[in-house]
């Protein structure tokens, strides 16, 4: 309803301006149409302009970590959820952006105050401020994670849990809400990747696909490959046993683009449970 009303009003304004031009044009034949148009759009879209400025400043300074549209980009959290771990007032966000967050990857910046304010307007324009606020319970989410959903059996958080899936200690610092929801509801949609050696950015990438090996004696083992080269493969099976296997002793090694994580459908995890689990995951910004 709202956008329609606004466009309608804009049309009225344009119509009024047009009439004004025509009248003015007839009265003063030497004057061009452009000056009138500039005045109209200039005052109407002052904040739109600021949001646009904020968007391009964001792209240049922040998108490397927070993603092009601020939905989280692998190194920095989603900034569009409307939930702020470090303070939600303009003043608090201003402080975060200008001073950074010591002890995290979030750097301070030396862009002008007016530019920082433009970035905040841009971020505010992305937040779902008009959505009715649904109560979210992080503590309940944590209880489900370590309780009935048994997520911890495959995931480590701050040193606690299993190792079949990726460590989630910092997942909230880099993933968007929609990515987290997809990861739980449809694990096969996008498989996680990680570095085998976190200290070597040029090292091998670990893809969490499903690997099945058949040994020369006919034994089948499936799990996640923690490392693989021409001669060997390290396989973590579903019981979290690590197998170090030499390829010369294997019949076959098969990779399938499939997650070892079960899809948590609404029957297993209803929407309210999912919301609280995601709220818990978003709050995970610890150090690995």
Q: Which of 183, 184, 168, 151 is nearest to 266 (CA)?
A: 184
CA angle in degrees (0–180, nearest 5) for 34-37-43: 140
User: Bridge partners of 211?
Assistant: 223, 255
Q: Which two tokens stand for residue 234?
A: 């390290």
- Binding positions for ligand HEC, 224-253, rule CB under 6 A: 224
**Binding of ligand HEC at residue 192 (CB under 6 A)?**
yes
The whole-angstrom separation of Cα 233 and Cα 227 is 6
Terminus-to-terminus CA distance in the chain, angstroms?
46
Query: CB neighbours (10 Å) of residue 260?
Result: 20
**Shortest separation between residue 221's beta carbon and ligand HEC, angstroms:** 15
Mapped onto helix, strand or coil, the DSSP state of residue 48 is: helix
Choose the binding region for ligand HEC from 15-23, 33-41, 212-220, 254-262 (rule: CB under 6 A).
Answer: 254-262
* Of positions 71, 140, 142, 155, contacts ligand HEC by CB under 6 A: 155
Residues 78-117, mask of contacts with ligand HEC (x by CB under 6 A): -x----xxx------x--xx---x--xxxx-x--------
Report the interface residues with ligand HEC, using CB under 6 A. Answer: 61-62, 64-66, 75-77, 79, 84-86, 93, 96-97, 101, 104-107, 109, 119, 145, 149-151, 153-155, 164-166, 171, 173, 175, 180, 183-184, 187, 191-192, 208, 224, 259-261, 264, 269, 277, 281, 285
């Amino acid at each position: 309803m709202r956008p329609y009303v606004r466009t309608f009003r804009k049309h009225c304004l344009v119509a009024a301006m047009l009439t004004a031009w025509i009248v003015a044009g007839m009265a003063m034949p030497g004057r061009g149409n452009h000056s009138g148009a500039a005045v109209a759009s200039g005052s109407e879209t002052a904040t739109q302009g600021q949001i646009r400025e904020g968007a391009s400043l964001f792209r240049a300074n922040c998108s490397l970590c927070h993603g092009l549209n601020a939905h989280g980009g692998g190194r920095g959290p989603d900034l569009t959820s409307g939930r702020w771990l470090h303070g939600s007032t303009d003043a608090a966000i201003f402080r975060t952006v200008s001073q950074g967050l010591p002890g995290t990857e979030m750097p301070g910046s030396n862009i002008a105050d007016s530019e920082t304010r433009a970035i905040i307007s841009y971020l505010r324009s992305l937040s779902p401020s008009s959505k009715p606020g649904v109560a979210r319970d992080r503590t309940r989410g944590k209880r489900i994670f370590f309780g009935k959903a048994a997520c911890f059996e495959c995931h480590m958080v701050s040193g606690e849990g299993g190792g079949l899936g990726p460590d989630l200690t910092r997942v909230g610092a880099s993933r968007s809400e929609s990515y987290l929801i997809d990861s739980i509801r449809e694990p096969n949609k996008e498989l996680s990747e990680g570095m085998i050696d976190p200290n070597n950015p040029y090292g091998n990438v670990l893809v969490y696909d499903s690997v099945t090996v058949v040994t020369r004696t006919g034994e089948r083992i499936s799990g996640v490959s923690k490392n693989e080269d021409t001669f060997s493969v390290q396989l973590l099976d579903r019981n979290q046993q690590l197998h170090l296997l030499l390829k010369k002793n294997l019949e076959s090694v098969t990779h399938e683009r499939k997650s070892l994580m079960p899809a948590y459908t609404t029957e297993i995890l209803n929407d309210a449970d999912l919301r609280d689990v995601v709220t818990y995951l978003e709050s995970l910004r610890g150090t690995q």
